[in-house]
Amino acid sequence: MLSPMNHREIEYTTRKFWEENQIEEKNFSDLFHEWENATEREAAISLMNWLEQVYKEVVQEDLLLDYGADCLRLYLMFEKTPKPDDTWLDTWEECNLEGCYKFLGRFRRMVLVADYMNGLGRFQCLDVTRMKKRVCLLQKEVMQHFAKGNTMPNRHNAISAIMEGINELQKEMRIGEFVTKMHSHEIAMAVPHAQKQEEIKITVQEQTKNLEIEEVMRNLLLLVAPFAPVLAEHLWQRIQGSISSIYNNAWKEYKEEADEIEIPIQVNAKTKKILAISANMRSEEIEERAKHEISQILDGKEYKVIYVPGKIINFILK
């Protein structure tokens, strides 16, 4: 599961899936057709058409072999457009190509680990309201950057927003901690094609999936899909187990619920996290979710709780 990303293997299996299911390598702008804001929708579709055209003009075979199609598409969104007639060594920044490739690898690891740990029940009590909202607002932020015009700074800002948002979500799900505890991951990374891997021994009281985590992962894959279509499709099939392509879905504009509020979680009057909740949620449930969010701080300590409905929840350590 945690073996290094092999883009050639991923591209081979994904394109084979597209062929077998008669899915055309179409213009990925189709993902934006259901977006309600016409200005942002048309700007995104136009930008994707530009990306497809530029990709055909500047991408060279040796680059594809080294980095893969997804990495090159992401680079074209994130950096200055290379010149079609020059060799890639003269027009592409190799360090930035490496950065894009590593980001895609981290994203793949995040999705796979989150899906695996969710299957073990590790996210059963996790409040994902804020994460769901974050992904939807990320889509809106990206579309707003696109609507400002097809320039390198606007494209760069859109991809930067996605990278920053994914890093935040990774921290909220504590992916790094889970990876550290998976003692077999060093073996898997050293010998990625080994037939046998050390079994991961994790004690789980109850193996119950958090269906909202699955929704977050689906929305994240849809978010990345226009820019890294091969990897997004590959991961979609891994976590969905579906014969339906990710490109049969579309971005949908987020409508914020009127009864959704955010309250700060404080420890000794200092804010540690922000908790997104429904305005009619019971105080007992709010306290449980807040305790889970700051469990590392409260671990083994005595405390009392002060909750001001709809305003703040404060844990006073004794």
The per-residue pLDDT for 143 is 96
> pLDDT (tens digit, 9 = 90+) per residue, 107-135?
999 999 999 999 888 888 787 888 888 89
Tell me, yes or no, whether 226 and 267 share the same domain.
no
255 in a structural domain = no
The string of DSSP codes covering 84-147 is: TTS-HHHHS-HHHHHHHHHHHHHHHHHHHHHHHHHHTTTTTT---HHHHHHHHHHHHHHHHHHH
Tell me, yes or no, whether 211 and 298 share the same domain.
no
Q: Given 216, 248, 280, which residue is the final one in a domain?
A: 248
Asked if 217 and 111 touch (Cβ cutoff 8 Å), the reply is: yes
254 in a structural domain = no
Q: Which of 262, 293, 249 has its CA nearest to residue 139? A: 249
Tell me, yes or no, whether 220 and 312 share the same domain.
no
Asked if 315 and 294 touch (Cβ cutoff 8 Å), the reply is: yes
> CA-based angle 183:188:189, to the nearest 5?
105
Q: Which residues of the chain have pLDDT under 70?
A: 1-2, 25-27, 183-207, 256-259
Estimate to the nearest angstrom the gap between the alpha carbon of 276 and the chain centroid.
19
The per-residue pLDDT for 193 is 46
Q: Given 248, 269, 293, which residue is the final one in a domain?
A: 248
| 203: number of Cβ within 10 Å | 5
312, containing H or E segment: strand 312-317
Tell me, yes or no, whether 244 and 274 share the same domain.
no
> pLDDT (tens digit, 9 = 90+) per residue, 50-93?
999 999 999 988 899 999 999 999 999 999 999 888 888 788 99
39 in a structural domain = yes
1 in a structural domain = no
The per-residue pLDDT for 207 is 56
Q: What is the CATH number of the domain that holds 276?
A: 3.10.20.590
253 in a structural domain = no
290 in a structural domain = yes
Tell me, yes or no, whether 105 and 156 share the same domain.
yes
The per-residue pLDDT for 126 is 80
- Reduced to 3 states, what is the DSSP secondary structure of residue 316? strand
Q: Which of 188, 204, 208 has its CA nearest to residue 196? A: 188
Tell me, yes or no, whether 116 and 220 share the same domain.
yes
Q: What is the CATH number of the domain that holds 235?
A: 1.10.730.10
Asked if 188 and 3 touch (Cβ cutoff 8 Å), the reply is: yes
Tell me, yes or no, whether 228 and 310 share the same domain.
no
The per-residue pLDDT for 25 is 67
The per-residue pLDDT for 270 is 87
The string of DSSP codes covering 275-301 is: EEEETT--HHHHHHHHHHHTHHHHTT-
The per-residue pLDDT for 196 is 40
Distances (CA, A) of 145 to 41, 167, 283: 12, 19, 39
The per-residue pLDDT for 149 is 95
Indicate the number of domains in the chain.
Answer: 2
Q: Which of 310, 208, 302 has its CA nearest to residue 262? A: 310
**Domain carrying residue 281:** 260-317
The per-residue pLDDT for 195 is 43
Q: What is the 3-state secondary structure (H, E, C) of 42-71?
A: HHHHHHHHHHHHHHHHHCCHHHHHHHCHHH
Token pair, residue 287, equals 């306290």
Q: Given 219, 248, 277, which residue is the final one in a domain?
A: 248
Tell me, yes or no, whether 125 and 272 share the same domain.
no
User: How far is Cα 151 from Cα 81, in angstroms, rounded to an integer?
Assistant: 10
